Amino acid sequence: MVVNRAENPLRAIPQVDELLQRPSLQPLWRELGAQQARRVIRETLEELRARCAAAPEAAADTLSAGLAGLEAELETRTRSRLSPSLRAVINATGVVLHTNLGRAPLSAAACQRLGEIAGAYTNLEYSLAEGRRGKRDTHIEALACELTGAERTLVVNNNAAALLLVARTLAGGGEILISRGELVEIGDGFRVPEILIAAGARLVEVGTTNRTHLADYRRAAGPATRLLLRVHRSNFEMSGFTSRPRREELAALGAELGLPVAEDLGSGCLLSPAISGFAEEPTVSECLAAGMEIVTYSGDKLLGGPQAGLLSGKKVWLDRLRAEPLFRALRVDRLTLAALEATLDAYARESWDEVPVWRMLRARDLEARAQSFASRLAPAWQAAVEPDESPVGGGALPGTRLQSWVIWLKPSGYGCMELAERLRKAEPPVLARIQNDRLGLDLRTVFREQENALLQVFESLQS
């Protein structure tokens, strides 16, 4: 289009209605709907006007270029509106529990169960055996108790909610004793002590950062004390001159003082070290067996299920938690219960490798997979396969480094940050590692079924 500089050049910009009626754009607008189409057109034209206004001396050129690319620009914006905001990505970082990437991917069985339950009416709160109202707790409780040795298990929205419920119900208006070495910040500014205070409890810090003794708890306990709380140092390690009471000792003190003893276990590992390979990670059943009366843990960390908070322990306390009105505000829906039941079922059948988190954490074939994938990338991409380590992530097992194999790439012609950006913007989006000006793919967290899609993404990019 020729823009006449003598008149107001902005007059050359078409009207919204003209673009809405333009025959070549009809297929786009049919997909988008008239109302959103109007919005996309208006936004696009406003930006074009703003670009012209920002550089008056080059306005005519900006305008010509903008008008020439107008239809393509409208198409791009329409596509971006039509694509969902929450999308599946390929996690090639090797970090199994990546909180920013949604932590644990669900097992095939859990996904299938979700498909069956999501669009249907269910017996969520109905007893089919008795033909009357039932409780939503029943669907996972027996299974979870079998796996942990607990008398009761409740499910809420996440572990933070579980802690909130415990603190509010058992210690609201009273005091919680907690070691100074366990005042944990989880991530994204979430701090365990702040949740406890938000629940209306007062914290009484005992001991010192590195050492807390049983006598510290005993000395601090008074008439307002309601709860002894132990918090798993899930995302940091302490070494050197350190100590804290054993769980058995804390439990005995609780019994002596007539106070409940709870543990925030965070990652919620259900597998014994012999199977998990993580000697230092306490299991839920181990904590309960050692006398903890309530153990709270996440559903989407080492358990490998949906986002949820589980509370396992003694019936006396869990009955109280269940009866607290706040429970209603924290309870989970049928989708969470469906996915959780299917996940726990894999543990009950001792088929841990059905749970993606455990399949990835226990993977032993990473070198072969990396070599084979690197050879498929060649010759377009020069790749070096090197041994490396992956952290577990998600605030779990801070001291554990998993032996891994990483495929390192260095694009010629452009930088590695730009490659990372192109990968993020690809379909499907790919997240990789960046280190020393190289981009790394750790196939630990890439499903075998995703390898072809990953290869296609690289084929679509220039090396």
Ligand X SMILES: *Cc1c(COP(=O)(O)O)cnc(C)c1O
Residues that bind ligand X (CB under 6 A): 158-160, 184, 186, 192, 231-232, 234, 264, 266-267, 298, 309, 395
Based on its alpha-carbon atoms, the radius of gyration of the chain, rounded to whole angstroms, reads 28
**Amino acid letter, 443:** L
Is 266 or 305 the residue whose CB approaches ligand X more closely?
266
267 contacts 214 by C-beta, under 8 angstroms: no
Report which of 348, 330, 304 is spatially closest to residue 155, judged by C-alpha positions.
330
Residue recorded with tokens 């088929």: 351
CB of 113 to ligand X, least distance (A): 21
Backbone phi, psi, residue 248, to 5° = -60, -40
304 contacts 356 by C-beta, under 8 angstroms: yes
Examine residue 428 and say whether the peptide bond preceding it is cis (omega within 30 degrees of 0).
Answer: yes
Is 165 or 184 the residue whose CB approaches ligand X more closely?
184
The DSSP 8-state label assigned to residue 181 in this structure reads G
CB of 271 to ligand X, least distance (A): 17
> How do strand 309-313 and strand 433-435 relate by DSSP bridges?
unpaired
Is 184 or 439 the residue whose CB approaches ligand X more closely?
184
Q: Which residue is nearest to ligand X (CB)?
A: 266
The DSSP 8-state label assigned to residue 354 in this structure reads G
CB of 395 to ligand X, least distance (A): 4
First to last CA, the chain: 37
Six token digits for residue 38: 């109007």
Report which of 294, 232, 226 is spatially closest to residue 266, judged by C-alpha positions.
232
Six token digits for residue 430: 């790919």
Is 232 or 369 the residue whose CB approaches ligand X more closely?
232
Is 309 or 440 the residue whose CB approaches ligand X more closely?
309
**Distance between CA 201 and CA 184 in Å, rounded?**
17
CB of 435 to ligand X, least distance (A): 26
36-46 as b/e, with b when 16 or more CB fall inside 10 Å?
ebbebbeebbe
**Distance between CA 276 and CA 360 in Å, rounded?**
11
CB of 103 to ligand X, least distance (A): 8
> How do strand 294-298 and strand 309-313 relate by DSSP bridges?
antiparallel
CB of 40 to ligand X, least distance (A): 37
Is 101 or 257 the residue whose CB approaches ligand X more closely?
101
CB of 397 to ligand X, least distance (A): 11
Is 207 or 394 the residue whose CB approaches ligand X more closely?
394
Is 13 or 156 the residue whose CB approaches ligand X more closely?
156
- Classified as helix, coil or strand, 153 is strand
CB of 374 to ligand X, least distance (A): 35
Is 234 or 283 the residue whose CB approaches ligand X more closely?
234
Residue recorded with tokens 């597998």: 271
CB of 407 to ligand X, least distance (A): 30
Six token digits for residue 239: 């070494």
180 contacts 243 by C-beta, under 8 angstroms: no
Name the strand (E) or helix (H) holding 62.
helix 59-68
CB of 33 to ligand X, least distance (A): 37
Is 356 or 395 the residue whose CB approaches ligand X more closely?
395
